[in-house]
Amino acid sequence: MTIGIKVRRRAICHASLFISSAIALTLAAPGVAQAACTPNPSRAGEKTVCSGEETTQLIVNQAGSTVLVEQDATLSAPDASSILVTFPYNSYWNASIAIQVDGTVGGGTSSAIAVQSYGNLGSSDNVAFTISETGRISGPTGIDLLPPTGVYPYYRGTAVSVENGGVISSTAGGLALHGADDGSSYFSSILNRSTGTIGAIQGRVGTLINEGLIDGAALSAFAKEPASQYYTGLVSITNRGVIRANGSADTLLLRQNDNITNEGDIFAEGTGRAISGASLWITNQDTGSIVATQTAISVTQSVEVHNNGVISGAEDAIVSDGSLNLTNRGSIQGNIRGGDAASFIDNIGGTIDGDILLGAGNDVFIGDVDRMDQPFGTVTGRVDAGGGNDMLVYNFLKDSVLDSPVSKPDTIETVSLRVGRDSTLTLSESFFSTEALTLGGADVGYYNTRNEFVLAGSIDTQGPALLEDNYNSSGFVISQMGTIVAHLSGAGSYAANLRSASLFDNSGTITAIGGSGVAGTSTRISNNGTITADATAVRAWYGLDNSGVIRSSQGVGADIVNDDSSNSGTIEGVTVGVRVQASTFVNSGTISSAGHGLEIGSNGTVINQSTGVITGGAAGVSTPADDMYRGGIQVINAGIIRGNVDLGGQRYYGGSGNVFAALSGSTVDGDIYLGSGYDMFATSLVNNGPGEFAGLTGRVTGIGPATLRYFVDADTTTAPALKGFFSDLSYQLSNDATLTLTGSNGVGLSVAGSGQVVLTGDMTGTTDRSLIDLTAMAIALDGADQPPANTIAMTNNGTITFRQGTFSYGTAIGVGEGNSFTNNGTIDVRVGISLYGPYGTAISGGTTVVNNGVIRLSGSTGIRTSFTPDAILRNAGVIEQVGGGALSVGVNGSGTILNTGSIETEGSAIVISGGPAFLSNSGILRSSAGHAVSSTDYYYASRVWNQVGGLIAGGPGVPAIALSSGSILANEGTIQGDVILRYDPYGYGYDSGSSIFINRGGTLNGNLTLSKNDDIVIALNGDTGVSGTIDTLAGIDTFVHAYDKSTTVALDAGIMPPAGFEDLGFAAYGTDTVLTLTGERSQTRPLFLAGDGTIVNDIVMNETGATGPTSITLGSATDPANSVGAGSTLTFVNRATLARGVAGYARALDNQGTIMGSDMYRPAIQIVANDPTGFSFRNSGTVAGADVPQNAYGGD
């Protein structure tokens, strides 16, 4: 058949597909050598070789089998497939079989090769066919993939790959390759080499690559059939050869979402179509041809075509019943038809020899900016975009200038101008248009703010003047410096309606008659020109910056829906000047309205700066009437508001929570209504104006409760007092001011900001909130989301009395993190009796809390620290439970606790909770019925130093000190009662670390219980100071002899660890103390050395029979031999031989003897510098096995 177009042909020689008779003759010819396929059936892991003629069916049914059909071999089973590939029923994993055909495989009444799996649960089986140039496969069906049998046929099929360099055909005009009709067994890949010929293909295919010839003859070359199984996988087709068919069937019959890349020829030489499907992606390269005697490409849903070659149909080249996306840089011969869905046509540089006929969708054409006289490119027929809002788009990809509007073809409703690639399109001063400009970005998928439109001309339209198209990219900038006049049909119509531009910058004039001015949905609006409108002048979702004039003659001047905005110019409205919702608005200009000067919605903030003026005839500032749940509003006024301020409303979950701050020098000419409760009015403490408070001429009202806050920015003395309807009093300090509070009152107060507070008067309270609250949040006067953290230092020189009933959780003074509180006076807190311990609290939180006065308690805790590692509590005064009062606790918390005063309660004097603590005591810690010092957590280890003069006493029959394992106790004073250093309040019996007890000359009148880990007891001059027993429980425990004066100790004098201890140690107390060790050591365990003095070793440790890792261990990171528990800061001098090395913590090491490593894995010296001032290492002796000490830092 002759095709009516010249097509590029390839020099590919293919054997005719109609060779079935030749194959049949070959199979029947006499005299062929007889041979068998051996082994048959196949065996797992073995190769079956076929040579000569085989008329018995070859069965390949073992995983790992391989088959070679040699070049001289002919397989022809007359009544069955010549090769049957199957898999055992118990093959649950990927089973693989490989078959190579160099000879001939025929089929009598069945397929040449059949593949069938059992259908087990599990992964698919795999078969790989390789057909060489001499290979031939031909039967009624060449290769037939049968559906699985077995119990679960739908679970598992076979994945077959075919690599063909020979011929695969059908002897009956049928299918060369047939996938299972249910899609279970399929061709995962088909590769047809340049020498290969394949007949018709049908079924599910993953990847099809053709470099040779695929000829479907009267059938489709490839049909993704049957239709019921097309969903089982997408096909990707790459053609570099020839794919053809000559019947009524389509050459490529595809389905949903298939992909074709063509570099060769796809022919429909009969009445069928070259390519058909539901939705397709087609790329036709410059060497590609897609040719049909009727329709070349036809789809029922959508198609995307990129053409650089030739697409030809006698009548229609491309037909889509749905959408069509066409980019043509080649030649298309025939009509192009699109459906009612939106289509996209880009024909720049291409040729279409026919018509373009589209449906009712909103279609887009890409115009050629260099050939605006031919906007659709080269099209020999007519262009009919059909119904819908059809658009012609010009992409300006370099800096360009337009002096006049672009003409619009009759079939087009909209012309869109786009800029891309960092370009600027300028509409010059001579540009004048009476039609709207539609603008957009040309960088697809890229938000590019370097693209810009400069509008210097004039636009006068009936309807909107500036629009954006629906398909552009975002980020471009519009600089409007010309004149725009739009005659509109109502308030919902805008002169400029923008969505995708990042910025609309107006320095010109925009006039909206009968409608609204400028709307920016996702566009920030900047104006230093003039925008006037009958309705809303500006509506901004992404913010407004105005330094020009914005005016509405009938409605709202500026409606700001979102994002922070500012005004330094003039904004005028009739009903509302400015409306702000859920954003921050800063005004330093003028806002006015005959109605409401400024409306502010929920969660909005308005900052009216000192030059700002807001005027409203009905109200200066109000809330929108349609905002049902108004609240969370902040108004910070440093300028002038003329008219009442009404922040009324109620949140759905409670009061309105509004804030109005009247800064120094500001004025509200009217009344202020705060809201429906939990509101705040803040003003200067000094009022020189005519109103109730500084900053207004009228009164402040609301529903309440509400807080009155005074700003204090200079040293001030005042007596706290409430005014008006307010229920709470607050102060906000700044400029390092000191606020002195005098007088006797029952008013609770809060303090925020930064500065000092001194209370010289008396305060009494019974509220369920703090009487003094330093945790209140400051007002962010700059509108920031979060104000700076408080840094308040408060001192009490008066008397604070706090009373509450039973089960009350009140706190007299809430200090809060970052603040400090010092009590020089008296705090008296009494809460009703509770069955569960003290509920009330005198002082809570604070980075630093100091008590120099008296804290009296009943049913309360004296001080709760902030539970942070840097929290510091200093008590030099008295914390006591009043006589006859309910059970109380002195201190509860963590951090650093320094007591030089007295804490005496019925409950614990000190409760360590929420983290580890360091407790230093030289005063009195006494409990009349409980532990004096206790821990509430078994996993936080703490350090306790009971200094000279310190007394720690527990109640009768109760341990004085109960700390978790891993804790350290150093005693120079008196402890009255037992000590437990593995206390577990939950009874789990958990030991989290090794405990340490140090006696520095103190007395423990009771028993000492250590943990089950490796504990340490340090005894000054051999005296533990423990009057009772010492229970070491389990572990390898060390007894350390400590000395605070220089001395020499001979180990051969019979010094051994006491009963219950396994290891021996020595410590030197004091930086001037030198302890010299001599003699011979009878113990084989390592010697433990610690302290903050100097220890000189003259003992030879050859370590015969030694069991420890080292000869000497120096302290530990938490060793408290220097009393405060900061770690061992020992100076160690070695003048003898240490056969197993030295390891540990020290500030200096001087080796004058010999130190050797015990083995290749253990260096001679391993030291961690444990003094922040540095580390010194000197070696005048021998270090064997290491040239320098490892982990040693510092120097002389």
3-state secondary structure 822-873: EECCEEEEEECCCCCCCCEEEEECCCEEEECCEEEEECEEEEECCCCCCCEE
Are residues 1129 and 1004 part of one domain? no
Which of these three, 1035, 1070, 1092, is where a domain ends? 1035
Interstrand relation of 37-38 and 47-50 (parallel, antiparallel or unpaired): antiparallel
846 Rama sector, left if φ>0, alpha if ψ -120 to 50, beta otherwise: left
Residue range 1088-1112: mean pLDDT, rounded: 80
Task: Give the residue with greater pLDDT, 701 vs 4.
Answer: 701
pLDDT at 787: 86
Residue range 803-819: mean pLDDT, rounded: 83
Instruction: Tell me whether residue 684 is in a domain.
Output: no
Distance, CA of 194 to CA of 210 (rounded, Å)? 8
Instruction: Tell me whether residue 538 is in a domain.
Output: no
Are residues 825 and 873 part of one domain? yes
pLDDT at 89: 63
pLDDT at 1120: 46
Are residues 805 and 915 part of one domain? no
Nearest to 649 by CA among 617, 682, 626, 681: 626
Residue range 714-740: mean pLDDT, rounded: 95
CA 333 to chain centroid, in Å, comes to 53
Beta-ladder partners of 799: 826
Cβ(535)–Cβ(554) below 8 Å = yes
Instruction: Tell me whether residue 423 is in a domain.
Output: no
- The answer to whether residue 479 scores a pLDDT higher than 50 is yes
pLDDT tens-digit series, residues 845-858: 999 999 999 999 99
- The answer to whether residue 25 scores a pLDDT higher than 80 is no
Out of 211-215, 807-811, 1102-1106, give the one with best mean pLDDT: 211-215
pLDDT at 1051: 85
Q: How far is CA 1020 from CA 945, 947, 1005, 1130, in A?
A: 15, 14, 16, 17
3-class secondary structure, 384 = strand
- The answer to whether residue 889 scores a pLDDT higher than 90 is yes
Which of these three, 360, 378, 396, is where a domain ends? 378
Give the pair of three-digit tokens for residue 930: 């409980």
Distance, CA of 737 to CA of 611 (rounded, Å)? 26
Structural domains of the chain, count: 5
pLDDT tens-digit series, residues 951-985: 999 999 999 999 998 899 999 999 999 999 988 77
Nearest to 889 by CA among 852, 857, 851, 937: 857
One-letter identity of residue 778: A
Out of 11-25, 426-440, 768-782, 1105-1119, give the one with best mean pLDDT: 426-440
User: Which region among 44-53, 535-544, 697-706, 1179-1188 has the lowest average model confidence (pLDDT)?
Assistant: 1179-1188
- The answer to whether residue 937 scores a pLDDT higher than 90 is no
Model confidence at 1193, pLDDT cuts 50, 70, 90, reads very low
Give the pair of three-digit tokens for residue 739: 């606020």
- The answer to whether residue 564 scores a pLDDT higher than 90 is yes
Are residues 833 and 754 part of one domain? yes
Model confidence at 1160, pLDDT cuts 50, 70, 90, reads low
pLDDT at 985: 78
Give the domain range for residue 853: 731-887
pLDDT at 183: 80
Q: How far is CA 856 from CA 799, 801, 863, 892, 902, in A?
A: 11, 10, 11, 15, 12
Are residues 275 and 194 part of one domain? no
pLDDT at 1103: 64
Residue range 457-473: mean pLDDT, rounded: 92
Residue range 444-463: mean pLDDT, rounded: 96
pLDDT at 1048: 94
pLDDT at 117: 78
Q: In what order do the strands lie in the sheet with 1137-1138?
A: 1137-1138, 1154-1156, 1182-1184
pLDDT at 8: 38
Q: Which residues contact 706 (CB under 8 A, 6 or more apart)?
A: 674, 677, 678, 679, 680, 681, 725, 726, 727, 728
Residue range 587-610: mean pLDDT, rounded: 97
Token pair 């053809």: residue = 244
Q: Which residues of 586-609 are buried (b: 16+ CB within 10 A; e: fewer)?
A: bbbbbbbbebbbbbbbbebbbbbb
DSSP state of 1086: P
Distance, CA of 396 to CA of 454 (rounded, Å)? 13
Distance, CA of 822 to CA of 852 (rounded, Å)? 7
Distance, CA of 291 to CA of 314 (rounded, Å)? 9
pLDDT at 1116: 67
pLDDT at 1040: 92
- The answer to whether residue 261 scores a pLDDT higher than 90 is yes
pLDDT tens-digit series, residues 624-662: 988 767 789 999 999 999 999 999 876 656 789 999 999
Residue range 821-834: mean pLDDT, rounded: 90
Going along 937-1059, which residue ranges are E strands? 943-946, 951-953, 961-962, 968-971, 974-976, 979-980, 996-999, 1003-1005, 1008-1009, 1016-1020, 1030-1031, 1038-1043, 1047-1050
Model confidence at 836, pLDDT cuts 50, 70, 90, reads low
CA 577 to chain centroid, in Å, comes to 40
Are residues 865 and 926 part of one domain? no
pLDDT at 2: 34
Distance, CA of 1061 to CA of 1038 (rounded, Å)? 6
- The answer to whether residue 228 scores a pLDDT higher than 80 is no
Q: Which residues contact 340 (CB under 8 A, 6 or more apart)?
A: 322, 359, 360, 361, 386, 387
- The answer to whether residue 303 scores a pLDDT higher than 90 is yes
Q: Which residues contact 967 (CB under 8 A, 6 or more apart)?
A: 935, 941, 942, 943, 944, 981, 993, 995, 996
Instruction: Tell me whether residue 569 is in a domain.
Output: no
Residue range 295-307: mean pLDDT, rounded: 97
Token pair 């027929």: residue = 381
Are residues 969 and 829 part of one domain? no
pLDDT tens-digit series, residues 136-147: 999 999 999 988
Task: Give the residue with greater pLDDT, 539 vs 151.
Answer: 539
CA 1177 to chain centroid, in Å, comes to 48
pLDDT at 1186: 43
How many residues comprise the chain?
1196
Instruction: Tell me whether residue 592 is in a domain.
Output: no
Portion of the chain with pLDDT greater than 70, in percent: 90
Which of these three, 887, 920, 937, is where a domain ends? 887
Model confidence at 1144, pLDDT cuts 50, 70, 90, reads confident
Q: How far is CA 992 from CA 40, 334, 912, 981, in A?
A: 71, 85, 16, 11
pLDDT tens-digit series, residues 912-928: 998 889 999 999 999 99
Give 3-state DSSP helix, strand, coil % of the chain, rounded to 5. 0, 45, 50
Q: How far is CA 716 from CA 80, 736, 825, in A?
A: 110, 11, 21
Q: How far is CA 841 from CA 81, 812, 925, in A?
A: 93, 6, 19
Instruction: Tell me whether residue 867 is in a domain.
Output: yes
One-letter identity of residue 1065: G
- The answer to whether residue 1192 scores a pLDDT higher than 50 is no
Are residues 857 and 735 part of one domain? yes
Are residues 1051 and 1029 part of one domain? no
pLDDT tens-digit series, residues 988-1046: 677 778 899 999 899 999 999 999 998 999 999 889 999 999 999 988 889 999 999 99
One-letter identity of residue 748: G
Instruction: Tell me whether residue 893 is in a domain.
Output: no
For residue 28, the surrounding DSSP H or E stretch is helix 20-28
- The answer to whether residue 777 scores a pLDDT higher than 60 is yes
Average pLDDT, the chain: 89
Instruction: Tell me whether residue 1110 is in a domain.
Output: yes
pLDDT at 90: 58
pLDDT at 20: 35
- The answer to whether residue 383 scores a pLDDT higher than 80 is yes
Give the pair of three-digit tokens for residue 61: 């049914």
- The answer to whether residue 12 scores a pLDDT higher than 50 is no
Are residues 129 and 278 part of one domain? no
pLDDT at 1174: 77
Q: How far is CA 908 from CA 255, 856, 890, in A?
A: 81, 15, 7
Q: Which residues contact 770 (CB under 8 A, 6 or more apart)?
A: 748, 750, 810, 811, 812, 813, 814, 844
Distance, CA of 863 to CA of 894 (rounded, Å)? 11
Distance, CA of 898 to CA of 918 (rounded, Å)? 8
pLDDT at 1185: 66
Model confidence at 1168, pLDDT cuts 50, 70, 90, reads confident
pLDDT at 737: 97
pLDDT at 323: 96
Are residues 1124 and 1091 part of one domain? yes
- Classify residue 840 as exposed, middle or buried by CB count within 10 Å of its CB (0-12, 13-18, 19+): buried
Model confidence at 747, pLDDT cuts 50, 70, 90, reads confident
Are residues 1112 and 994 part of one domain? no
Cβ(643)–Cβ(597) below 8 Å = yes
Residue range 813-830: mean pLDDT, rounded: 95
pLDDT at 562: 87
3-class secondary structure, 208 = strand
- Classify residue 989 as exposed, middle or buried by CB count within 10 Å of its CB (0-12, 13-18, 19+): exposed
Residue range 56-65: mean pLDDT, rounded: 92
